[in-house]
Structure 1
Amino acid sequence: MSMDRRKSCAAIAAMLLLGMTGQALGKSDFEYGPVFNSFGKHAHVQGVSFPENQTFKVAFDVANAAEPGEVNRKFESLARFINMHVANGVKHDNLSLALVVHGSATEEMLKSAHFKQRTGQTNGSETLLNALIAQGVEVIVCGQSAAAHGVENTALIDGIKMDLSAMTAHARLAQKGYSTNPF
């Protein structure tokens, strides 16, 4: 076999292998767990590892609400962050995570009865927010957005804190060493 023919065969074999690998990692390969079994689907990524004592201090910022009755995908990103890191060896206790909510997403901080009164729908994010709080995520709502949307402390889902503003919350978290997730 000539050198050119061998190179062509090798190139075709490489493309086929890459194509099969791409197909092997389709949407069906995303899974829940190990922390959340209904939120935060993620895929395994070969070759990624973390030191034994890897820590993360990350704040997630969410300003846009989901459609009434639906789960806010940005909140679900935080569940995915937890699932994928714990699944890949990061100790759950080494995750310090916060969710800072402002803008139209502020109303998703409401208990179901209050949310339904405003929108006529159930709060699709309440179950996830309760699960995040139960896993130690600090959920903070912007006091300025709460005032603008007529949201009072007593109407908030249990465990959600209110700060003066989202800017204040991020500044306080930064002082504690948190980075802000850009996604």
Structure 2
Amino acid sequence: MKSFFHAALAFALLAAPAHAQGEKFRTGPVFEDFGPVADVDADFSIPDKTKMRISFDVSKAADAGELNRTLVSAARFINMHARASVPIEDINVAVVVHGKAVYDVSNAARYADAIGGENANAALIASLTGEGVRIIVCGQSAAYYDVTNDDLAPGVEMALSAMTAHVLLQQDGYAINPF
């Protein structure tokens, strides 16, 4: 009985901080269903008239039925900076997708064929691309995984390669997210 009590107490103590943390994170103002962020009293300020151009790189696929963490991070990046008063028109985001993650940005039929079930990322992709986020697939990975342009979710672009996409984005002023 003591071990059950100790296990229950440990669970309660571990769950409390997670619950408290969850209350600090909210979605919006751009994506109401995705990209929760916390408001921060930051000392490292964002200068007025800052233009943000960032590319995210993703090769790790989400578990079946789960959201891809990097796609969620793109929504978080936009929500957090819009909430910090960076005008939405000054936030430009691209997500370069390669490796098995190409299935995460495929349409319903291709996802179901490759992974099974529904693609949990469909609504997130539609929200991101609807706000101007570029989602760019590595053509080399797509070829390897037998994913064609017709297999991609609406709004997702095909590039020659992820390397090509990153070079061109960097030449256009995009910084690559280091993590």
**Is TM-score (shorter-chain normalized) higher than 0.5?**
yes
Matched, 1:39 2:34: yes
Map 1:95-114 → 2, pairs under 5 A: 95-114=91-110
Corresponding residue pairs, total:
161
Residue identity matched to 1:33: G
2:79 pairs with 1:79? no
| CA positional deviation for 1:131 | 0.6
After the TM superposition, which parts of structure 1 deviate over 6 Å for at least 4 consecutive aligned residues? none
Letter paired with 1:99:
V
For each residue in 1:144-175, what CA deviation from the matched residue of structure 2 results, as whole angstroms up to 9, or x when unmatched?
Answer: 00000000101111111111100000000011
Aligned equivalents of 2:42 and 2:133: distance in 1? Answer: 28
Unaligned runs of at least 5 residues, structure 2: 1-16
> Aligned partners of 2:96, 2:64: CA distance in 1, in Å?
19
CA distance in structure 1 between the partners assigned to 2:116 and 2:100 by the alignment: 16
Residues 53 and 173, structure 2, Cα contact 8 Å, conserved in 1: yes
Paired with 2:142 and 2:124, the residues of 1 have a C-alpha distance of 20
Counterpart position of 1:3 = none
Give the deviation of 1:27 after TM superposition.
2.8
Normalised by the length of structure 2, the TM-score is 0.85
**CA distance, structure 2, for counterparts of residue 159 and residue 152 of structure 1:** 14
Identity rate of aligned residues, in percent?
43
1:154 corresponds to 2:150: yes
Q: What SS does the aligned partner of 2:38 have?
A: coil
- Higher-Rg structure is 1
Query: CA-to-partner distance for each residue in 1:92-112, whole Å, 9 max, x for gaps?
Result: 000111000000101112111
CA distance in 2, matches of 1:146, 1:84: 31
**Could you tell me how far apart the structure 2 residues matched to 1:158 and 1:166 are?**
19
Normalised by the length of structure 1, the TM-score is 0.84
Q: Distance in 2 between matches of 1:167 and 1:47?
A: 34
Match of 2:178 among 166, 179, 182: 182
Q: Which runs of 5+ in 1 are unaligned?
A: 1-21
Letter in 2 for 1:118: A
